[in-house]
Amino acid sequence: MPAFSIIVPAYNVEHYLDEALTSVAAQSFTDFELILVDDGSTDGTAAIAQRYCDSDSRFRYVYQPNRGQSAARNLGTSLTTGTYVYYMDSDDLIDTDTLSVCHREFSNPEIDAVMFEAAVFPNDAPMYKQEVNGYRRPLGSATLWSDEFVVESLRQGRYFVSPCCFITRRSAIGNLRFIEGIVYEDNHFFAALLLQQRLKLAVLNQALFKRRLRMDSTMFTTKTLHHYNSMYRLLHEVSALSFIALDPPERARIKQEIIGKTLGDLHFASALVGPDLKLRSMNVAATWYVATHISPRLFSAKRLLLALVPELYRLKPEL
């Protein structure tokens, strides 16, 4: 049984996959398995993956018809045999010592997950300046309980959800899976993992992961109705979480903050899609839902205005 199981979902990434897999093969800590789940690629992704599998028994290739990144990650999770699980994207890189550093932290049997930072590249990408400081962990303590970690991350403006920036004991993940059929699924997984149970975390202010900035990634592509509908479902799924790891009244405050941000993201997504009457109505319905299910403080004249006229997000600093 390997120490680490690395799950890599891949879809039409022939231009990036070789570099990503090379960064894994070059790890100074060698006790790992890599499960690459090909999500119905139609380019040279399969051939590149098969080349690594043929030359290195630690690499495994699995194919599924195109069902999305969540389904690919979930299939990979079901196949893991390692003690620790890492979700890595197929166009990114990890440092040579990433697994070694995390294994050292896991030598403390109380540690359930290791949280680390990311650097972004290339530095000439159009979105580099807005992303360069976006992957920082909270300062102040080398270990935190997961509820404390979320509180500090929000307080310091260092809350981000990428599963590429933490490694978790497989036992801590348990039956938790990514919501299938949507994008932005990382938001639910992160909150459910850290706030539906109390985990002991090692917090590293080290960039052990390198995130590639691509204009055709989920974060930067033109938004469609699928993006909006995903955010709409995400809002309801996160609202349904108990956040039981937090004690009242902190629980109510943090849940309100996270749901409030998700609601704002929903309204903003509608502005990017091009809101019609249906989307404006859904915005209002979502605003009413969180006000009645989470906190009446989430219902305000400003939020209602942005629900009805999300185009005003362009003027948000002046609102």
Q: Are 209 and 164 in contact (CB under 8 A)?
A: yes
Residues sharing a CB contact under 8 Å with residue 257, sequence separation 6 or more, in sequence order: 154
pLDDT (tens digit, 9 = 90+) per residue, 180-208? Answer: 999 999 999 999 999 999 999 999 999 99
Confidence of residue 220 (pLDDT cuts 50, 70, 90): very low
pLDDT (tens digit, 9 = 90+) per residue, 122-131? Answer: 898 998 999 9
Residue 216's pLDDT is what? Answer: 64
C-alpha torsion sign, points 184, 186, 189, 194: negative
pLDDT (tens digit, 9 = 90+) per residue, 65-118? Answer: 999 999 999 999 999 999 999 999 999 999 999 999 999 999 999 999 999 999
CA–CA distance, 306 with 219 (Å, rounded to integer) = 22
pLDDT (tens digit, 9 = 90+) per residue, 142-163? Answer: 999 999 999 999 999 999 999 9
Res. 222: pLDDT tops 80: no
Closest by CA to 190, choosing from 165, 226, 163, is 163
Residue 164's pLDDT is what? Answer: 98
pLDDT (tens digit, 9 = 90+) per residue, 23-57? Answer: 999 999 999 999 999 999 999 999 999 999 999 99
Residue 223's pLDDT is what? Answer: 85
How many alpha carbons lie under 13 Å from residue 127 in its C-beta half-sphere?
13
CA–CA distance, 73 with 94 (Å, rounded to integer) = 18
- Residue that is written with structure tokens 């409030």 in the block: 260
Confidence of residue 313 (pLDDT cuts 50, 70, 90): confident
Average pLDDT in the chain: 95
Res. 215: pLDDT tops 80: no
pLDDT (tens digit, 9 = 90+) per residue, 241-296? Answer: 999 999 999 999 999 999 999 999 999 999 999 999 999 999 999 999 999 999 99
CA–CA distance, 225 with 27 (Å, rounded to integer) = 40
CA–CA distance, 41 with 65 (Å, rounded to integer) = 8
- Residue that is written with structure tokens 């990514």 in the block: 178
Confidence of residue 319 (pLDDT cuts 50, 70, 90): very low
Residue 91's pLDDT is what? Answer: 96
How many CB atoms sit inside 10 A of residue 287's CB? Answer: 22
